[in-house]
Amino acid sequence: MHSQWLFFFFIISSCFVALCSSASLPVKAVNLGGWLLTEGWMTPWLFDNIPNRQMLDGTQMQLKSLKLNMYISAESGGDSIIVANRTSASGWETFKLWRVSETTFNLRVFQGQFVRQSTKSSRLVAMATNPTASEQFVIIRNLNNPSRVRIRAPNGLFVQAKTADVVTADYSQEGTNWGNNDPSVFEMTLLDGQLTGEFQLTNGYGSSAASVLRNHWNTYITEDDFRSMANDKLTAVRIPVGWWIASDQNPPKPFVGGSLQILDNAFTWAEKYNLGVIVDLHAPPGGSQNGNDHSGTRDGTKDWGTTDVSIDQTVAVIDFLASRYAQRSGFLAIELINEPLAPGVTLESLKKYYQAGYNAVRKHTTDAYVILSNRLGPVDPTELLQFSKGLNKAVIDVHYYNLYTDTFRDMTTVQQNIDYVNNNRANELNTVMVANGPLVFVGEWTGEWYRTEASKQDYQKFVQAQLNVFGGATFGWAYWSWKNNDQQNHWSLKWMIDNGYISL
């Protein structure tokens, strides 16, 4: 009897480890992008009601003195004076906004300092490393011509371009005709490529951010979606999250709490429909690993991993997530950081983080796979293989988009794109998948490309080629993404399946 019970127990527990634990490999997964972590290109409507929507955190601004017909510049890119002697504008003439309120901003210069008034004169300088009240400028837009602005300095006076090398905060005349002769009137250009991530959204809405996001979390993806994914023969979901989820309910401002409960719900639904969950830390604390919206960045500065502090903080987030979900049967894997970008993120600091992050996960579970994202940028895709051999259940994540570089922009035919998948991608995948090495995951790919004039049949062929090649990845693949807006249908796996472009 006793031994029978033991045997029974053995069956049950091995079942938990081998069979009954979530998705079997390789997974056919989908990313739940734009859900618990804002990506404005996917969900632009979320930004619609932000006051002064054009001027968000990280928005890049250039100012031209109309009187001098010259651009304002941070001399030397920063750590020096502000001048007005440039006939054209590029890096040193570009200021990144940090939004204090709808109308009040800090102005960050090329080298990272903030503009303020000199302590010795009324001149503007770019010297401050941290923005305080002395670095807050009110930008007043002309209602009839909103690209004409005046800028009120913290001393209550307006900024003026007196001469080509003297820009001061001492213009006291309140009234203006907004004409070219007024030295306190500037032409403001807001550059394209505005960041629209979680920081921009939450800081843009301020106190109403929580209700906007909670409504989004509760409606964008629901249990019905998990049921559909299972019906569509998907076996796992990859869920991007931001670091502030670890300090739910009271994350540091401007982030808002509540997404942890939604992630809990995702586990419950995934378990109900037999889908594995890959928790993916897309936005790490202590800086951005790639400058993209989805890294949770304020202004695109790529500074993650340059200090041990950001690495330690990130390990703490992984520790929290692993501890919370270690016992959940749906917990398939955790991805330690998404898309670190070389050369800013060095291989050395990344390995240091991956080792510490791996150890943090293993404190709580030996079952969950630990996913290591390859670096983006000019790197050898095998650079993590040697390192990860020492880790149990490690997975290398590669992202394969026929987008973003000239290689793909320069392709003029559908067939070139398909050939690239069949040849280059297949070869690269084979160099990363080595005997006794880590598993390999194509954690992001999509049906969209630069051949947007292509026919439905072309899309079908392109997608099928990717399914064939990425289907050989030992850990599996994940499409980006489950949903997207109606301008981006090919980026939505749900749309692609519902409309007969993909069948699994």
Nearer CB in complex with ligand NAG: 75/187: 75
Number of residues in the chain: 504
Which residue has the CB atom at the shortest distance from ligand NAG? Answer: 165
Instruction: Report the nearest approach of ligand NAG to the CB of residue 336 (Å).
Output: 46
The burial of 450, by beta-carbon neighbours within 10 Å (0-12 exposed, 13-18 middle, 19 or more buried), is given as middle
Instruction: Report the nearest approach of ligand NAG to the CB of residue 339 (Å).
Output: 38
Instruction: Report the nearest approach of ligand NAG to the CB of residue 185 (Å).
Output: 21
Report residue 241 as tokens. Answer: 């999250």
Nearer CB in complex with ligand NAG: 73/235: 73
Instruction: Report the nearest approach of ligand NAG to the CB of residue 391 (Å).
Output: 53
Nearer CB in complex with ligand NAG: 83/239: 83
Q: Which of 412, 470, 406, 407 is nearest to 442 (CA)?
A: 470
Q: Which amino acid is at 213?
A: L
Q: Is residue 196 a contact partner of residue 56, using CB atoms and an 8 Å limit?
A: yes
HSE-up of residue 192 (Cα within 13 Å, Cβ side): 0
Nearer CB in complex with ligand NAG: 81/237: 81
> What is the Cα 33 distance to its own chain's centre?
10
Q: From CA 333, how far away is CA 110, in angstroms rounded?
A: 39
Instruction: Report the nearest approach of ligand NAG to the CB of residue 67 (Å).
Output: 16
Nearer CB in complex with ligand NAG: 116/393: 116
Instruction: Report the nearest approach of ligand NAG to the CB of residue 165 (Å).
Output: 3
Listed in sequence order, the residues at least 6 apart from 7 whose beta carbon sits closer than 8 Å to its beta carbon are: none
Cβ–Cβ contacts within 10 Å for residue 349, how many? 18
Instruction: Report the nearest approach of ligand NAG to the CB of residue 92 (Å).
Output: 10
Report the C-alpha dihedral over residues 438, 431, 475, 446, rounded to 10 degrees.
140
Is the peptide bond preceding residue 249 cis, with omega within 30 degrees of 0? yes
- Give the binding site for ligand NAG (CB under 6 A): 75, 83, 85-86, 165
Instruction: Report the nearest approach of ligand NAG to the CB of residue 279 (Å).
Output: 51
Q: From CA 282, how far away is CA 33, in angstroms rounded?
A: 10
Nearer CB in complex with ligand NAG: 110/358: 110
Q: Which amino acid is at 284?
A: P
Q: Is residue 359 a contact partner of residue 319, using CB atoms and an 8 Å limit?
A: no
What single DSSP character describes residue 17? I
Instruction: Report the nearest approach of ligand NAG to the CB of residue 81 (Å).
Output: 7
Nearer CB in complex with ligand NAG: 165/308: 165
Secondary structure of 393-424 in the HEC alphabet?
Answer: CEEEEEECCCCCCHHHHCCCCHHHHHHHHHHH
Q: Which of 96, 332, 87 is nearest to 193 (CA)?
A: 96
Helix (H, G, I), strand (E, B) or coil at 40: coil
Nearer CB in complex with ligand NAG: 81/221: 81
Q: Which helix (H) or strand (E) holds 107?
A: strand 104-108
Nearer CB in complex with ligand NAG: 69/208: 69
Nearer CB in complex with ligand NAG: 67/298: 67
Instruction: Report the nearest approach of ligand NAG to the CB of residue 159 (Å).
Output: 17
Q: From CA 262, how far away is CA 2, in angstroms rounded?
A: 43
Nearer CB in complex with ligand NAG: 81/239: 81
Q: Which of 311, 334, 308 is nearest to 321 (CA)?
A: 334
Q: From CA 121, how far away is CA 117, in angstroms rounded?
A: 7
Q: From CA 398, how far away is CA 418, in angstroms rounded?
A: 18
Nearer CB in complex with ligand NAG: 127/239: 127
Instruction: Report the nearest approach of ligand NAG to the CB of residue 76 (Å).
Output: 9
Instruction: Report the nearest approach of ligand NAG to the CB of residue 66 (Å).
Output: 18
Q: From CA 49, how far away is CA 27, in angstroms rounded?
A: 39
